[in-house]
Amino acid sequence: MAVRQRYYLNFLDCIISAIIGLVAVVCFQGSLDGTFIFDDVQAVVNNKDVQLATPIYKTFRNDFWGTEVASNTSHKSYRPLTVLSFRLNVWMNGGVLDPRGFHVLNVALHGMASALTYPLFCCLFAKTKNWDVKPLVASLLFAVHPVHTEAVAGIVGRADLLCAVFSITSLLTYAHATTMESAESLQFTFLASFLSGLAMLSKEQGITTLGLCSAFDLIVANTIFPSDILMALGRVSKDFKIHRSGIILFKKAAGYQAFIRKQYRYMLWRQLILFFYGKHHNVHEMLGDGVRNPTVSKSR
């Protein structure tokens, strides 16, 4: 099996990505004059972790709403990178809570995420010609779709925006890794796992990035579909027999050759890195104790 063809973004593609990001910013610029509303009050205005006077280490000990994670009243939403971005807004405004600065960064992050979707769709659609407009249409739809309104216009939506930026960057990095058949592929896989960890620290749903990378490797890069895996398992199962002692014995190894071939060795290494290295980018490894036995006590 040949290594998946790599599509190099040219100057025109870079211009298109920038335009898509600009379109996204223009579409949501109406939110710049907004104020703190709904959950913004609890997550930003009343959250002491956002204030510069609070020691920064507490950001990593408390949940998104400023309650200690070990507390039974904690929401258990662990998003320290998002809270740190709130602190950055406060610091840039001289220690004052100015909603406009928060909204500006939200809109900028949406523009960044939208711009990143174009090279991502180029990978997913296997673009090889400049006149292929499918990635452009998909990226523009992502940029202007009103489903993003709550995430962009609401300051607490920062968690979704940061998670999206890190997740898409992780997917792009992993897609780059699948175009190589060398140790360099594994290096980019480690980087993709690290970026997925940053996505998790922005919002919990970032953990799904690992699964997306795995699915991309199987389905897009190696064209191994779920039906192929089921068929391979069906063939392998025929080579098993039950010994009278209850031990399952494998009669011959030929059944595995349909799936674990030499050309898949780097794919398998990438899968192992994703799920044995990537999973350690979480709250348990960074903090320990207080987060190990969460008890959800709030509804949201």
Of 23-27, 222-226, 277-281, which range is least confident? 277-281
Which residues are CB-contacts of 60 (< 8 A; sequence separation ≥ 6)? Answer: 80, 286, 287
Q: How confident is the model at residue 182 (pLDDT cuts 50, 70, 90)?
A: confident
pLDDT-derived band at 292, boundaries 50, 70, 90:
very low
The string of pLDDT tens digits covering residues 73-84 is: 888 899 999 999
Averaged pLDDT, 50-68 = 91
pLDDT at 238: 61
Residue 38, CB-side half-sphere exposure with 13 Å CA sphere: 9
Residue with tokens 């592929």: 185
Query: What is the mean predicted confidence (pLDDT) over 220-236?
Result: 75
Q: Please give the DSSP secondary-structure letter assigned to residue 42.
A: I
pLDDT at position 180, please? 82
> What does the mean pLDDT of the chain come to?
82
Yes or no: say if 72 and 295 are a contact pair by the CB < 8 Å rule: yes
Residue 285: per-residue pLDDT: 42
Q: Out of 39-53, 109-123, 177-191, pick the least confident.
A: 177-191
pTM of this prediction?
A: 0.81
